[in-house]
Amino acid sequence: MADPTQVGPEVAFGVITAIVTFLGISILLGFFMRKKAGSFEEWLVGRGDIGPLVTGFALVATYLSGWAIFGNAGLGYAYGWSGSWLIGTTCVMGMALVLVIGYRMRRYVALGSRTVPEMLKIRFDSRMVQALAGLAMIVLLIVYSVGQYKAMATVWTITTNMPFIGSLLLTAIMVLIYLVIGGYTGTQWVSGFQGILLTIVGWTLGISALIWAGGPIRIAETIGMEMFTPPGGSPTTIPLKDFTLPLPPPEGLAFPGVDYVGVAAAMLMFLFMATGFPHNIARFLGTRKITKREYWMMLLLLIIGGLTPLWVGVAGLAGRTMWGDTLMGLEFEPMFGDSAAVYASLGAGGIPLASLFAASVFAAAVATLAGMTMIMATNVTRDLVHNAFPKTSPKKLLRLTQLALIPFIAIPLWWTFTSPPPILSEFMAGSAVAQAGIFFFVVGVSMYWKRATKWGATAAIIYGLSLTMFHPKAYGKLIGLNHWGYWALTLMLGAALVYTLVSLATKPLSKEKLDQLFHKSE
């Protein structure tokens, strides 16, 4: 197998140039839109005048985090075909659901909400639900942030030969800079631009890698002969040729593709998570009224953008074809198979593609990180502090938000520093299951189901958060819950059941209040 690790200084130059250019465009767009906006709130969600093109690509950008644009190659590389369940070959289904469900968010903007927890406060007339949702978002987004750190630090380490720890710190600094200069993708326009970039680069990477590795037939033949190698371990006799990978229990059961129970859970996760990601459905907060024709146009954009993760997965399969299990060796710790994307971009397209790919990972990882850090900080100030002490001055709230940025940058940084996940997408799926299970119902379904109550929503959030702790790689193994599929199904279906039953058993909002939220025909 060829050696993928020969990376010279010219690569670092190309990568830095691409990232600086991307950063410059994002900041310019951010500043321009900030100048146009009359207030901070207008800057966050616009004036409700964002069209289908920008909303569509903004949705693509928030959906394609470091997991999809970067980690999917690691999945294809490490797990072969069975990695496709986390690559999200069916993710377009979930993206269609958020398109169908999310449009109603606009109704809550008209009623004064600017964030997802605020929308819940209005829907349930409950500050408790707002605070609880804010808290749940903080916990789950911290986990999600760990994956973003690993994605960007891996790209930086490989392309500049900087030690992984140094790359991690640099990523944190870049996030801070990105936040300080105001380009944290609060505007739909910046997100829209990123969505276009991610889509173009993802497709280019996948198609180039397919050709580079000798075409689809050669890739299929090679994957069919490969055996599974755990990160830092020795090759096993478990073949990669099938869509399930029967890894040995108990540790092996934590892999979603281990059997068809895990597969069913992964499919359900992808069905719910595009709607369940609060940062995703929030894209509709700034959307203007759109026509049926524009709705179809948005679907087309989501399909094109939604196929991007599959192309990134192809790059991982191509990498496995070219290098066998080389990247699973200890010399690639802690990046392991996740480094496949960077090496494949270099191998398939040289410095230009590797540079563009690095800028894309920067867009997906650092911008997402910055956005999430900002969301978590505002969860503290708007949904917790301001909720409990409504008389707190805006100036104090702003200072508190700025202060809260520090721990939300530091906590995931420390986590990635002390125990970086070997395969980041597998790790991030844990948080995705919880976000899907909780918020698909609490946010998505509640906008359409009049009978939903604040107690149903509260119970679902508490249940979902509690079950999250019993992830097979966290506390689940202590109670014998080693199987990812059973855990994920228990969390998502359990949250649905708890939400429905508790809602039916408790009193909904008064008719007068519901009439403000639902039209008479609904």
Partner 1 sequence: MSKTSVVYATIAIMILCVILVPLIAYLFGSWTAYWGHALLAIVFAVIAVFLRTKYYWEAD
Question: What is the contact surface with partner 1 in residues (CB under 8 A)?
Answer: 81, 84, 89-93, 95-97, 99-100, 103-104, 106, 216, 220, 224, 241-243, 260, 263-264, 267, 271, 289, 292, 295-296, 299, 302-303, 306-307, 310, 313, 519
Distance CA(285)–CA(418), nearest Å, equals 37
Handedness of CA 342, 345, 348, 350 (dihedral sign): negative
Closest separation in Å from C-beta 495 to partner 1 = 19
| Of residues 76 and 134, the one with the C-beta less far from partner 1 | 76
Closest separation in Å from C-beta 85 to partner 1 = 9
Distances (CA, A) of 199 to 42, 192, 193, 194, 306: 27, 11, 10, 8, 8
Contact 278, 288 (CB under 8 A): no
| Of residues 236 and 244, the one with the C-beta less far from partner 1 | 244
Closest CA to 353 of 78, 185, 159: 159
Closest separation in Å from C-beta 220 to partner 1 = 5
483 Cβ contact list (under 8 Å, min separation 6): 253, 254, 258, 261, 262, 472
| Of residues 23 and 310, the one with the C-beta less far from partner 1 | 310
| Of residues 264 and 462, the one with the C-beta less far from partner 1 | 264
Distance CA(16)–CA(296), nearest Å, equals 38
Cis-peptide, bond into residue 235, ω within 30° of zero:
no
Residue 287 pairs in a beta bridge with 50
| Of residues 34 and 104, the one with the C-beta less far from partner 1 | 104
Residue 227 pairs in a beta bridge with 239
Distance CA(338)–CA(326), nearest Å, equals 12
E strands within 94-140?
none
Distance CA(321)–CA(221), nearest Å, equals 9
Closest separation in Å from C-beta 516 to partner 1 = 15
| Of residues 507 and 519, the one with the C-beta less far from partner 1 | 519
Which 8-state DSSP code applies to residue 329?
Answer: S
What are the backbone dihedrals phi and psi of residue 214, each rounded to the nearest 5 degrees, phi first? Answer: 100, 10
Closest separation in Å from C-beta 92 to partner 1 = 4
| Of residues 241 and 513, the one with the C-beta less far from partner 1 | 241
Closest separation in Å from C-beta 310 to partner 1 = 6
Closest separation in Å from C-beta 74 to partner 1 = 16
- Phi-psi domain of 228 (left: phi exceeds 0; alpha: psi -120 through 50; beta: other): beta
Closest CA to 369 of 126, 183, 495, 499: 183
| Of residues 96 and 169, the one with the C-beta less far from partner 1 | 96
Distance CA(65)–CA(367), nearest Å, equals 9
Residue 459 pairs in a beta bridge with none
Distance CA(453)–CA(442), nearest Å, equals 9
| Of residues 173 and 220, the one with the C-beta less far from partner 1 | 220
| Side chain identity at residue 310, one-letter code | L
| Of residues 25 and 307, the one with the C-beta less far from partner 1 | 307
Distance CA(231)–CA(58), nearest Å, equals 34
| Of residues 309 and 412, the one with the C-beta less far from partner 1 | 309
Closest separation in Å from C-beta 77 to partner 1 = 15
Start-to-end Cα distance in the chain: 61
Q: How many CB atoms lie within 10 A of CB 478?
A: 8
32 Cβ contact list (under 8 Å, min separation 6): none
| Of residues 20 and 493, the one with the C-beta less far from partner 1 | 493
Closest separation in Å from C-beta 80 to partner 1 = 10
| Of residues 99 and 342, the one with the C-beta less far from partner 1 | 99
Closest separation in Å from C-beta 144 to partner 1 = 23
Closest CA to 338 of 95, 143, 146, 57: 146
Distances (CA, A) of 470 to 33, 46, 268: 43, 39, 19
Closest separation in Å from C-beta 241 to partner 1 = 7
Closest separation in Å from C-beta 270 to partner 1 = 9
Task: Using the structure block, give the residue that is written with the tokens 């380490």.
Answer: 157
Contact 476, 487 (CB under 8 A): yes
Closest separation in Å from C-beta 225 to partner 1 = 13
